[in-house]
Each structure stands twice: as structure tokens, then as C-alpha cells.
Amino acid sequence: MSGASIAVSAPDVAMVRGTVEEHFPGLWPAVEVGLSVCATLLLADNSNPVAVIYVGPPSSSKTTVADMFAGHPLCYRSDNFTPAAFVSHAANRSRAALDKVDLLPRIKHKVLVTPELATIFRGKEDDLVNQFKIITRILDGQGLTGDSGTQGRRGYEGDYLFAWLGCTTPFDPKVWRVMAQLGSRLFFLVMDTQAEVTAEDLVASIEGLSYGERLGQCKKVVHQFITALLETYGGIRGVNWQTDADPKDVRLWIARLAILLAAMRSEPQRETATDHSTPTLIPAKPEQPYRAHAVLYNLARGHALIHGRRQLTDEDLPLVARVTLSTMPTKAGLVFGALVRANGKPLTVQEAQTALGVKHPETVREILRDLDARGVMEFVEAGPGKPAELKFRPGWEWCASPEVLTLLWGEPVKNPGVCAGEGNLS
């Protein structure tokens, strides 16, 4: 791979990793993402707020990770968050009072930490649309203004860059549809909860230090690291990044992942037939990948900074790949992951059913037809009595490469440029 890493005298991320892995085995990947999100505020050219939401079932340690960041001066914690809080139009307060309660100015150049976001991913579709309209606008980083009958025009314009770490439980498919319609600015990291908890694990969890003591030690090193990071790089927007110095093959991988994500987040349109038969799927029109690319590139650079580098290397790609997979709609991500693991072989309906964990094969077929309409994968139904299979379309075969498999579930790839010049980059 071309280019040499430019190292700086940065705080010791290995010490943070060692402490987290000692007290909370398995949480380091999530903490590393959180630190990378914080570091995006150091980039002088960053105009796209990076928002990563941890997703997992109850007791999957999402809040534990968020608590490691909360309390640092760079972070602003909100336990009872609603999008309306960014710029309030409450009728029972004066405009002067509202200036003191608006959330947006309080999180400018900070990291918003919201340990409980499940409420904004629940509700009627109209309510979801209204909430995500605000979130979409606020994540442009240029402030938010609005008009109401009670307070008139209120808001803030200009540089309102911030970063966001949040937590939620898994949510309904309709939320993905709403986000796709509005142009989602949110990115996600699915917490790994596949390992079954044993009785021995539970016994071990109450031996030695208490949960509070273990969390306290992790919180201490995370806070020390963030403070040292700010001092090392000159504070908010203190890093002038030399993009041309980043290896081209690494930049191509990030671009490719952004194009993949844009396609997988697109929503096919459904036209219901007059005879109430199976709805017709109209192929999705993918969002333009520029926004996804900007955020993924910022996240990769944030990862480089926490590891003491002002230049990207292949070591920054696995984190970007995992966030890309996690930000795909849930069912799409599960099937995509299964097809990647198939090592270039097509996926049968039964294999897709296993990956999805659903009972009825026809439900699986409906999901696979939906994926076909997104343009990355092709669902081939040969006819009655013949096997149906899912495979990557021409131009997307690179998704089945060993490099992608390694980026998602293995050690950092050395020389990922092996296939970086192939496939769909248009």
C-alpha cells in the first residue's frame, strides 16, 4: 500500500483498550467507535456532524458505553431527549427564557450523549416524519430555524457542528422507511450480543470489583484520553488534514462502502395491484452517496487521530465497514452479512431464512425480492420446483471478496487495495 503513516505523540489508546477489555470484555469496538466520533470534532474541514447510535436489546451494555463518555466537558448528556428540544417553541415561556433552554447552542462543538433514544424511534409514522425532519436538518451542522404561531421565528444559523452518541433498542422497518424518505443522517453500530451468557459468566460478573467500580475505572481512562486528545491536536477543528496524502486504495474503499450503503438504504416503492395480489416492487432510487461518504471519511479520520495518525491506513477500514453494515436496514444487513459469509456462493432461501430467523419461507422470499429491488443483490426465482437463490449483481461481486469478509469480521486487512479498483464505483 502506498504512503507512510504520519505518527504524532498522541495519548495511549492501548491503555484505554486494555482497561476496557479488562473490565468489560467485548465492549472495546463500541468504545473505539465512540472515541472516533469524538475525534471528528478535531477536523478543521468537518462540516458534517457524525452521529452514531448504538443498537442492541436491553442489557446489551449500550448505556455502559455511553456512560464512559458522559460527564467529560466535551460531552453533553441528555437522559430525556426529544428533537423539539434543539430549538424550543414552548408557548408557556418567554423568548428570553427559551434562549436559556434551547439544546442546540449547548451542544455546539460538543458530543451529545443520549443513553436512551428508543422513544424517537417509536410512534405513528406522521410523528416519526416530524421528528426525523428536525434531526435531518440539525445534522447538516448549519443550525436550525423555525416558525410557530406562539413564538414566531426562532433558531440559530451558522456553524453548529457537533457529534452524537446515542443508544436505542432495535426498531421497526417503518423507521428505516421514514429515514430513507428524508435522507438519513444517522449511522448505527449494532452491539454484538450473539454470545450466550452462561451461569459461569453471571457468577464471574459479581466477583472482584463491582459494576460501578469497573465502570468508574473505564470512565476515568476514557475521560483522560479525550482530554489528552484535545490537547495533542489543538482542540476543536485543530487538525488540518491533508487528504491527498491518504493512500488512494484506502480512499477507494471508503468511497465504495459509501456507495454500497446508499444503495442498501434506498427503499423500493410498492404498488398494490387492484386485484389485491402481491404488490409490485418498483426499483429503488438510491440516495446520492456524498453525505454517507463524508461521514464515513470523517469517522475513518477520527479513528486515525485516536491512534496517533494524521493520515489514513488500512487499519481504519474495519471500523468503517462495521458501521456501514450496522447502518443498513436490519433485515437487509442480516442477509447481506450472510451472503458475504457464503464466500462467493449464492444464498438459498433456507440459508437466508436461517440468517433472518423467520418462520415462513414466503416471508423470506418477500424480503429477498425487496433486496433485489435495491440493486445490489439479485434474487433469481427460476420457477416452480426449482431452487431460488440470492447473489450479488454484476459490479457488486467485490462484496463477496475475502477482503470484505476480513474487514467485517477479521483482523485489519493488509493491502486491501487488491480489489479496490474493481466493481461499482460510479
Per-residue CA distances from 203 to 192, 198, 210, 358, 365 (Å): 21, 9, 12, 33, 43
Question: What grid cell was written down for 196?
Answer: 450466550
Q: Find the radius of gyration of the CA atoms of the chain.
A: 22
- Neighbouring residues of 110: CB distance < 8 A, sequence distance ≥ 6: 41, 74, 75, 76, 162, 163
In sequence order, what are the beta bridge partners of 111? 75, 163
Q: Show the 3-state SS of 152-179.
A: EEEEEECCCCCEEEEEECCCCHHHHHHH
pLDDT the model gives residue 343:
87
pLDDT the model gives residue 148:
58
- Residue by residue, pLDDT tens for the chain (426 residues) are 334 454 455 679 999 999 999 999 899 999 999 999 999 999 999 999 999 999 999 888 999 999 999 999 999 999 988 888 888 655 456 566 666 778 899 999 999 999 999 888 988 889 899 899 989 999 998 877 765 545 556 667 889 999 999 999 999 889 998 998 877 789 999 997 666 778 887 787 778 899 999 999 999 999 999 999 999 999 999 999 999 999 999 999 999 999 999 999 998 887 776 665 666 788 778 789 999 999 999 999 999 999 999 999 999 999 999 999 999 999 999 999 999 999 889 999 999 999 999 999 999 999 999 999 999 999 999 777 778 999 999 999 999 999 999 999 984 444 444 333 344 543
- Outline where DSSP puts E strands in 163-222: 163-168, 187-190
Q: Are 134 and 186 in contact (CB under 8 A)?
A: no
pLDDT the model gives residue 101:
73
Domains of the chain: 13-241 (3.40.50)
pTM for the predicted model, two decimal places: 0.89
Q: How many helices (H) and strands (E) does the chain have?
A: 16, 12
pLDDT the model gives residue 151:
56
Nearest Cα to Cα of residue 186 among 152, 136, 226, 232 = 136
pLDDT the model gives residue 348:
95
pLDDT the model gives residue 201:
76
Nearest Cα to Cα of residue 154 among 92, 90, 78 = 90
User: How far is the C-alpha of 341 from the C-alpha of 335, rounded, in Å?
Assistant: 10
pLDDT the model gives residue 413:
42
pLDDT the model gives residue 333:
96
What b/e string do you get for 167-188 counting C-beta neighbours within 10 Å, with b at 16 or more? bbeebeeebbebbbebebbbbb
The distance from CA 281 to its chain's CA centroid, rounded to whole angstroms, is 27
Question: What grid cell was written down for 263?
Answer: 444503495
Q: Are 320 and 296 in contact (CB under 8 A)?
A: yes
Question: What grid cell was written down for 136?
Answer: 435531518
User: How far is the C-alpha of 38 from the C-alpha of 75, rounded, in Å?
Assistant: 9
